[in-house]
Structure 1
């Protein structure tokens, strides 16, 4: 029987999981500085949520969702993205009624899309995202983009490019939609099958097509920026003004539309310019979605957010040669010799762990030298030696592995001694 992980999934082994934990900690602390609170939603939802929230014309809904019937014959879908679930929770739990507004939320979690696996694009992947619900102030658009950029900069990334566009309000989008249909109609048969369908359903999606991106008709396609009404144009200028005030550089891309139906007004992506990062340069994306809350049964509520793939973030760190400052050393390793000492080692190990000290011991019945080798492999800072003689004298020998200095410490003083040493009280490091 040859059982392997399903295609498009991966095992994150202990050697890598500490990187994930470090990244999650940095991003969580960053959200706290921006006053965003964590929300956790179910991994699966009713299929209708994504059909209504993400949009029937999107590739996600049409091709990529993991959908199945449960035992109650209900159509269930593993979440392909985070925004729809967060907005559903916002509506269901009436967060719009809380006195503190806007509701500023962040999340981590696995998402699922059935697409061709490639580097940085998995069928199960982890998203970090934020959503700000309840404010139509252009300043919060700039805040969300600032948080997105800081998500990478806090981890040391430098080869970044913020690309922005405006999709306008409903009136602007309708005028642009008609112009796109008129422009692409003569080329309909030359477009891919998907784009021929999109041209009727949602012509804005034609601009986002990966197959037709090099078609000559793309170069002179009508720009949404030429169809923005006064309100949409003023809104976009204010967003850019706030970015300028924060000193955040950006590039305007008139063809940036994003792949989800719920976006309007501000749309943005962050890309990596790092050499060797790969053909898919987009690290994250987001935008404003003022109609989504109402579409899902809530009151008219503006919203904006973004999401990033943790897998692609780690790829970008690797491309720029950034090593995360992860301390993989063990505080101490307990070496015990003799049957009675082994029993005492169990008690002592537990006592140290209760005191918050990272400690391990031998569970393989190794000899003395082999236990020291195990301590070396675990990069233990200290080794505590407990034998029959030490047991009688109620002491342990504590050896600092880097300097080789060894000291006898009474057992009842061991916790205090190690805490002092590990907190910087020693002069050996």
Structure 2
């Protein structure tokens, strides 16, 4: 074993489990690609201020969980703890909003970093697929994104998840609610840090998971009672569009999510098989984030779905994805001449689009066939001196065990025909 281990709270993604992660990423990204979202990739680190302004100075992410570093040039950077602020920054920098066709629809996939207390489903390095629709205020966009995420999960076969939905109001009605909530919180027996948080962003306190805090929050003012008419109408339309699309959801008046930039629609996907870390994904509308980070007013909405959490949810439901084998054909050469000839044929097969592998290391027939079995290949191509003298190879079906001679010159066509 190596002297070095993966850092605490992180994991290595290795075969065969890595194939499931790739399949999950593909299943989540396929619906958004089909809905006109283009791929974007941003750096793994950004200016700290991007997150402190955008995500919010009162959030646990900024106050406790960000990995920060100072470069040799004295730039103060952070490993990205989430994707939205980076994607919006990149879109603004590239002036995508000035090219017409709003909203700008983008999707992304990558690793994110938070200094968290390690437990099942909560890592310090984690993987997400996200989607953002930038520059349009339309309930249909909010509904679209929720429907696409629902579609992705159902495509994977997940059934035991729920969609929680809430509205956080806007800059017109939220200040009134904020004041009412702060007045209520000041009357509670809360520790100093929680009271400080209540003064910066009282909604954060509603998200506190500690039982003694939650007990005191019974009877707290409910945001939906304070929504202005515009926000009520907007939220009603989101709900109607989801219902019309056959997407089931639950209203959750306490749902605020862990980021300060959300306005109006906020939602979370939760799964019953994940214990305390039940959220597998979530998102919402963030109409003021562009202005917070120095851009123009660009109402936007988006979500991020956890790949790690989704894999755990699949395992909790006992769902095994039908992941195709990475190898279709495995070549087993017996002797030096066969080794030279079959290596050439493997190269031809690969050029023809067939996933093919080769028995390396000069193993005998028994060891090489064991490798062929482990590879998951559907067919093995076996050849020795006698076969080559006759201008053939033996093509073995690894499922049925049947074997037949195939002309060397016709091998590529024969394999492609069988795989088709």
Given candidates 315, 324, 328, the residue that maps to 1:327 is: 324
Residues 247-266 of structure 1 aligned to structure 2 (within 5 Å): 247-266=246-265
* Aligned residue number for residue 370 of structure 1: 367
What is the CA distance between 1:213 and its match in structure 2?
Answer: 6.3
What is the CA distance between 1:374 and its match in structure 2?
Answer: 2.0
Q: Distance in 2 between matches of 1:78 and 1:44?
A: 4
3-state SS of paired residue (2:217): helix
Residues 16-415 of structure 1 aligned to structure 2 (within 5 Å): 16-187=17-188, 190-211=189-210, 214-274=213-273, 277-328=274-325, 330-415=327-412
Map Cα deviations across residues 59-100 of structure 1 (whole Å, 9 max, x no partner). Answer: 111110000011111001100000000010111111101222
What is the CA distance between 1:204 and its match in structure 2?
Answer: 1.3
3-state SS of paired residue (2:187): helix
Give the TM-score normalised by the residue count of structure 1. Answer: 0.94
Contact 2:283 / 2:303 at 8 angstroms: preserved in 1?
yes
Q: Distance in 1 between matches of 2:90 and 2:22?
A: 26
Contact 1:192 / 1:212 at 8 angstroms: preserved in 2?
no
Q: Distance in 2 between matches of 1:87 and 1:182?
A: 34
Map Cα deviations across residues 135-162 of structure 1 (whole Å, 9 max, x no partner). Answer: 1111111111111222211101111211
> Deviating runs (4+, > 4 A) in structure 1?
none
Number of equivalent positions: 419
Q: Distance in 1 between matches of 2:255 and 2:332?
A: 61
- The worse-fitting range, judged by mean Cα deviation, of 4-13 and 348-357 is 348-357
| Cα 1:257/1:312, change in 2 over 3 Å | same
Q: Distance in 1 between matches of 2:230 and 2:326?
A: 57
3-state SS of paired residue (2:362): coil
What is the CA distance between 1:10 and its match in structure 2?
Answer: 0.3
Contact 1:329 / 1:381 at 8 angstroms: preserved in 2?
no
| Cα 1:127/1:193, change in 2 over 3 Å | farther
3-state SS of paired residue (2:16): helix
What is the CA distance between 1:214 and its match in structure 2?
Answer: 5.0
Q: Distance in 2 between matches of 1:72 and 1:214?
A: 43
3-state SS of paired residue (1:254): coil
3-state SS of paired residue (1:170): coil
3-state SS of paired residue (2:105): strand
What is the CA distance between 1:217 and its match in structure 2?
Answer: 2.6
Q: Distance in 1 between matches of 2:399 and 2:289?
A: 58
Contact 1:390 / 1:396 at 8 angstroms: preserved in 2?
yes
What is the CA distance between 1:304 and its match in structure 2?
Answer: 0.5
Gaps of 5+ in 1: 424-429
3-state SS of paired residue (2:173): helix
What is the CA distance between 1:220 and its match in structure 2?
Answer: 0.5
- The worse-fitting range, judged by mean Cα deviation, of 13-22 and 337-346 is 337-346
- The worse-fitting range, judged by mean Cα deviation, of 391-400 and 303-312 is 391-400
Map Cα deviations across residues 204-226 of structure 1 (whole Å, 9 max, x no partner). Answer: 11101112565433110000111
3-state SS of paired residue (1:55): coil
Q: Distance in 2 between matches of 1:327 and 1:53?
A: 41
- The worse-fitting range, judged by mean Cα deviation, of 61-70 and 332-341 is 332-341
3-state SS of paired residue (1:270): strand
Q: Distance in 2 between matches of 1:199 and 1:404?
A: 69
Q: Distance in 2 between matches of 1:406 and 1:215?
A: 68
Contact 1:138 / 1:235 at 8 angstroms: preserved in 2?
yes
Contact 2:325 / 2:377 at 8 angstroms: preserved in 1?
no
